[in-house]
Structure formats: structure tokens, C-alpha cells
Structure 1
Amino acid sequence: LIDYLDRAEIKALLDAPDPRTRLGTRDRAMLHLAYAGGLRVSELVTLQLRDFPDRSLSTMHIMGKGRRERVLPLWKETQIALRAWLAIRPQVEVTEIFLNANGQPMTRDGFAFRLAEHVKTAATKQPSILGKRVTPHVLRHSCAMHTLAATGDIRKVALWLGHASIQSTETYLRADPEEKLQILAAHGAPAIKPGRFKPPSDALITMLTDVRRRA
């Protein structure tokens, strides 16, 4: 089984960073991209401006695990969050989009730390999120589960996440209770003929009574 956030928890998390601050603007863009693209944390922290070939930021080019490439469209909300960060991103020599407070590329641990801080903020709106272990990879799982729920097609989930084999993606089928309920509904319960209770005859009761006395 895998951990993932439901839609209400995801919304609370995406809204957690304060857009009035520079770090909040950066974090909101990171969270939006990590969830919308189903990105591995390594894919997120190595993103560069050249990975957005369209100036409108409508698509994102990802070089994934095993050098497998994929191009993903982005929601307008994600484009807005990313554009807000790029507008205030410090002018430094490093090419990675996301920087830490020192102007250096964001690290995996750095993102995990910021995520944990925003989980605490999100919990004020959605307390259920505290009952889950929210790691960067949980955002990828959440994207996969919501994509599966929206499309009902495991192949599309595999395409979105950049899986080499659909066997990796089948994990989400095992985790999704809604999918299991749909399978139950499709097959239906087996038709079992109802039985009818018959009280024991007087002869049987007499025999059992005799056996009990002899014992």
C-alpha cells in the first residue's frame, strides 16, 4: 500500500506557502510542479529554464529516471505559480530554477524540510494530513492516484509518471479502494439460493436425549 493525499489535503498544502514572501512564492511553485507533474524530487530540483521550451510555460520537459524523457502540459494555476517565482528569482549563475536562501540550487533535503513546514500549516485547514507521513514522493503518489481516478486508465498514469513498465504503475491499482469497489460492482455477488430452516423432528430430539443420558 502507498501513502497519498486526498484532494482536500492537496489543496490545503498547495495553499500553505505565503505568496507575499519570496520563499513562499518559491515554495508554492515547487509544490505545484511536484504535484501537477508527478515529479520525483530529483526531477524537481534539477529543473532548468530550458526545460520549459514554450515561453508561456504551458509545457515542461522532464529527463527522468534511466534518461527517459517526457513532456507534460501544465495547468494554468501551475503556470501562474511558476511565473510568479521566475519574476523574483535572484539573478545568479546557477541554471537550476529553484534556489535555496543562499542562492544555491535547492537540494532534496531542503525541499523535504520546506514541505514538512507547509504540512504543519496545511493541517490548520485539513487536520487529517497530520495522520499521514508526507514525503516529497507522496506528492508523486497523489498525482498518480488522482490521475487514475480521473481517467480510469492505468496506461495514462504510466505515461504521465514516466514509468518504464506498466508493472510499476499497477501499484496504484492495488492501493485505490475505489477501483476495488468498481470491480465488485462490475462482477456482482454470486447468486446463492437462500436456504430454509427446518426444525428437527421429534424422533431426532428423542435420539439425542437418549445419547446424552447414556453419556
Structure 2
Amino acid sequence: MNALAIELQSYFTSFARDQRDLSPHTISSYRDTWRLLITYLSDTTGTRADRIDFADLTVESVTGFLDHLEHDRHNSTATRNARLSGIRAVLVHALPAQLDDAGTITRILAIPAKRHPTPQVEYLASDEADALIAAPDRSRWTGRHDHALLVLALQTGLRISELRSLDLNDIDPGVGAHVRCTGKGRRQRCTPLTSATTTIMSNYLAERATRSGSALFCGPHGARLSRDALEHRIRIHAATATRACPSLATKHVTMHTLRHTAAMNLLAEGVDVSVIALWLGHQQTQSTDAYLHANMAIKQAAIDRTRGPNVAPGVYRPEPDILAWLAAL
């Protein structure tokens, strides 16, 4: 086993889980990054995958891999940058023990993330959200299951990872109804539920209790739903809702779209951005600023408060002589 294999084994078997306490999703993302990188290096150098070592890692080979992701695999710039983060994470861990290759590793760590335009936040209007909620067939268990899932996601703005990790005891429908979850960075938070959401979730919980498993949203045999299963369900219901609300056909509706919709609804009701950041589990309010840019009502209100180019500044003062003022009309 060469040095790179030893470092990869050390990182993924102990360091990432025991010391960094990274989430399973992050670990699997980093793992897939290194599988793709080693496969790329093996193909381009003609070296067997199990013999790829630090000598094969250069600035040129890593940037070539990143370009390969964009141009050949047609990955987005965001995905490219995420793969670069996975490479950096392992190399930072390996650097103290690999002094012979420290210069090359340092230069690879200095590769900057690629800048790209920030995409516009996509969210659902109220009629579109209503059509989506109404799409599941509630005469069947799966329809009632998906209806509760959509209502909870639209009201709370939970991430897909947070939704799928919920257990039955994470919902408290009693006084001060709320849902508890553990989000990014192992940050725990409670999100209050509206009376309408509480009623729907209470009915769902009563029926869910008769089925196996502890996951709040489960598959046919009580197992926790995967990310792909959740996204598949929302695609089905979005297609159904499009018949009642044609404007949905122009939107790419995902579980994250529901999170954006929850944030935009709070913003439209005048909730402060710092409160929305806490609601969504953002560590910094800068992450929430994107919703300000997407809200045209806020921009329109700002323009309505400005004066026209031909209006002289100052405070209006009526003429003291009311008769002269009336004659001048």
C-alpha cells in the first residue's frame, strides 16, 4: 500500500468520522471525488489505479481533472468547486506526514475555486404552492404521506437531508407545536408549526404510528426514504400540479425549491433577514441575502419611495392664501 492509499484510508476510516465528525453525506461526496480523481489519473497516465501516488498529483493533473468534470462530464461550476473541496480536505490532513511532497501539495491547495454567476433563487408563488400541495391523491396512504411531507417542507423550509432524517418523536404537535432537527454543522434547531400544519401532521402521525419503522417519512416497509426517492416524488407531484397551474411548467421544482419558497414567504410577511437566517439554520446572514435580491416587491417598494427626475426636492408647503391657490389650479 503506497502513501496516498494510506492517507486515504486514514482520512476516511477514522479522521473524517471520529475527529471531524463530518456528516455521512459529506463523507460520501469526498469519497466519490477521490474515486473520480484516481480513475482520471489512471486513464491519463496509464498507471494502475492502486499505484496512483502523491507523485501523480500535480497542479496540472488536478486542474486537468477539474476541467474534465466541467467539459466532459458536464458538471456545473458549483460541482467543480465541491470536488476541489474534497481534494483539499484529504490533502490538508496528509500534508504534515508527507513532507517530501509538501511543495506540490501546497500548490494544489492554492488552486482557487472557480467564480461563477450566482443563480437566481427559484421559488413558488402562492398559487403554485397550493397546486403542488393539492397534487397528491389523499385517498391513498402514499398520497397522504406525500401531502404531509410537502406541507411540512413548504412551511418549515427544512433541507432535504433534515427532512429525511426526521423521526416520529421529532414532531411535537402539542402546545407550542414544533419540529426538531439537526442541520449543517451539527446545529440543532426547533421550527414552530402553524395551526394548519399541526393539524395535518397530527392526522398523519396517528396513521403513521400504525406502520413499522421510526422514520417520519418512510417507504413501503418503514425504511427511511433516500434523497433520490424524495426528489422523485416531488417530480411526480409537480407534473400533476402543472395541469392545474401551468406556470409550474417553466420552473425546475426540487425539494430545495420548497425551502426557498418558505424563506420568500417569511420575507414577504416582513420578517427580518436575521430571523429568517435562524429559521433556515444559516450560520451567517449573508447566506440569506439571496432572498432579498430575489424579492421584486422589496425593490419595487424602494423605487416607489424615490422621487422622479423632474421633481424638485423639498417639503410641500401650501400657499397661505387659499383663494390664490384655488385660482392657480
- The TM-score with structure 1 as length reference comes to 0.83
Equivalent residue, structure 2, for 1:138: 257
Distance 1:9 1:69 in 2: 31
Deviation digits for residues 87-131 of structure 1 (CA, Å, limit 9, x no counterpart): 222532x32111112321111111111101111111121110111
Deviation digits for residues 139-195 of structure 1 (CA, Å, limit 9, x no counterpart): 0000111110112521221121111000000010111111111121233344478xx
Q: How many residues align?
A: 192
Distance 1:58 1:152 in 2: 20
1:9 to 125, 128, 132: 128
Distance 1:76 1:68 in 2: 26
1:102–1:54 CA distance, 2 compared to 1 (3 A) = closer
Equivalent residue, structure 1, for 2:266: 147
Does residue 169 of structure 1 match 2:288?
Answer: yes
Aligned counterparts, 1:51-200, within 5 A = 51-53=170-172, 55=174, 58-89=177-208, 90-92=210-212, 94-191=213-310
Provide the identity percentage: 37
SS, match of residue 181 in structure 2? strand
Residue type at the aligned position of 1:140: R
Does residue 23 of structure 1 match 2:142?
Answer: yes
1:186–1:159 CA distance, 2 compared to 1 (3 A) = farther
Distance 1:164 1:27 in 2: 30
1:169–1:19 CA distance, 2 compared to 1 (3 A) = same
> Is the CA contact (8 Å cut-off) linking 1:25 and 1:84 kept in structure 2?
no
1:50 Cα deviation from its structure 2 partner: 2.3
Q: Which consecutive unaligned segments of at least 5 residues does structure 1 have? A: 194-215
Distance 1:56 1:124 in 2: 38
Distance 1:95 1:168 in 2: 33
1:78 Cα deviation from its structure 2 partner: 1.4
Question: Larger helix proportion, structure 1 or 2?
Answer: 2
- The TM-score with structure 2 as length reference comes to 0.55
Distance 1:188 1:155 in 2: 30
* Stretch of structure 1 that moved more, 176-185 or 28-37: 176-185
SS, match of residue 60 in structure 1? strand
Distance 1:47 1:126 in 2: 30
Distance 1:16 1:80 in 2: 19
CA RMSD of aligned residues (A): 1.8
> Is the CA contact (8 Å cut-off) linking 1:26 and 1:85 kept in structure 2?
yes
Distance 1:168 1:4 in 2: 16
Q: Which has the higher contact order (CA 8 A, sep 6+)?
A: 1
Distance 2:175 2:147 in 1: 18
